[in-house]
Amino acid sequence: MTSRLNPYLTFNGNAREAMEFYHSVLGGELKVNTFGEFGTPDPGIKDKVMHAQLTTSDGNTLMASDVPPGMDFAPGNTMTVSLSGAPGDNLQDTWSKLADGATIAVPLEKQMWGDEFGQLVDRFGVPWMVNIGQQ
């Protein structure tokens, strides 16, 4: 079995909305399970996301959940989701969709190393980097 490294995002009650947005941007298959589906007796969290997984057609995986009961939500700046590819991988379109409602830190444009690169924080507070390598 080959090990995989996947980003896992935590949200403060809006994981479903965020993952549906990422699904609209990245495509693929989205599976969402709630705390209620796993038998929580707490009606306050039964519809919150216990685990969501987006698997894209090219094999990338993004996972997420809402903050579980008893844990604090503490957003930080120690994690960034990075998308990299080649020209023709549709990353300009992906960037445009992620940029809707986002704060752009670095516009998607040619950089000194020759690639197109951009950095933003999306409307859910998640930092993203997009790098389009040049041939």
> In this predicted model, which residue has the larger pLDDT, 41 or 95?
95
Contact 124, 14 (CB under 8 A): yes
Domains observed in the chain: 8-66 (3.10.180.10), 81-132 (3.30.720.110)
Calpha distance 114→36 (Å, rounded): 49
Q: What is the pLDDT of residue 117?
A: 94
Calpha distance 58→60 (Å, rounded): 6
DSSP string, 14-31: -HHHHHHHHHHHH-SEEE
Mean of pLDDT values over 96-102: 97
Calpha distance 41→23 (Å, rounded): 29
| pLDDT interval class at 63 (50, 70, 90) | very high
pLDDT at 26 over 80: yes
